[in-house]
Amino acid sequence: MTGKEFVKPKSSVIAEIIPGCYDVDGKRILQPKKSHHFSGRPMGAFLTQPLKVVCHDMNEIGAFLATCRYVSDREQFGVPDHWAAPEAFEQTRRGDCDDFALWTWRQLVDLGYSARFVTGSAGRYGVGHAWVTFRFEDRTFVVEPLLARAGRTFPRLNTLRYKPRVSVEVNGGRVQFFEHSKPSIEPPLRVVVPLIPDWLLFWLLFWLRWAGRWIRWPFLALIRRLRHKHRRFVQ
């Protein structure tokens, strides 16, 4: 990163990778395999068109992502898989993981970060997930755009569930692809144990939030039904 000072974000979307537990660099390849979902994607074109939303730091990126809604490609476009360009995503503020990640990648590149768009598997998101990584000095961070609406700090322990397969970055104006392998080591207990409280707190608050929504839903449905009956009675 050049010309910018790294500001530790207050948003929930980033966590530092535990060294040795994530294949950060990968192996340079000419083109990804068709099974990696990159075939025919204009990766360089995703970085060329002007954006109306210009973010100045990670907090602003997280704030915008918090206004966006996850929608499957099938629901939005009527196809199994579609990668929306960043300029289109910021207009609709709707998309799936790759749309969120492509827009985030574009913003980080524009800010001067050494950033990559990554596909692979990630815990509950399963295979075919997309996220972003960026480097600052000798540290590498995972950016999970879908967590922006959670409003809680992304627990560092969760980065162990991110398994990259292919990543792409732009270096000197050229698009470069990288294939990744699974790390051969497990983090030592002295590293894992201090991270457990934050991990437990994150998931406790996360599930309490969703449980609250499910508890409120029947009451809200009842209120809407009573209002509807009241309007019919008045008419």
pLDDT at residue 139 is higher than 70: yes
pLDDT at residue 3 is higher than 70: no
pLDDT at 111: 94
Q: What's the whole-number mean pLDDT along residues 82-107?
A: 96
Write the secondary structure of the chain as one string of H (helix), E (strand) and C (coil).
CCCCCCCCCCCCCEEECCCCCCCCCCEEECCCCHHHCCCCCCHHHHHCCCCCCCCCCHHHHHHHHCCCEECCHHHHHCCCCCCCCHHHHHHHCEECHHHHHHHHHHHHHHCCCEEEEEEEEEHHHCEEEEEEEEEECCEEEEECHHHHHHCCCCCHHHHHHEEEEEEEEEECCEEEEEECCCCCCCCCHHHHHHHHHHHHHHHHHHHHHHHHHHHHHHHHHHHHHHHHHHHHHHC
pLDDT at 109: 96
Q: What's the whole-number mean pLDDT along residues 99-119?
A: 96
Question: Given pLDDT bands bounded at 50, 70 and 90, which one contains residue 2?
Answer: very low
Question: Given pLDDT bands bounded at 50, 70 and 90, which one contains residue 164?
Answer: very high
pLDDT at 119: 94
Q: Which tens digit of pLDDT belongs to each residue from 15-31?
A: 999 988 999 999 999 88
CATH 1.10.3470 fits 14-187, yes or no: no
Q: What is the pTM of this model?
A: 0.82
Any idea where the domains of the chain sit in the sequence?
Answer: 14-187, 188-235
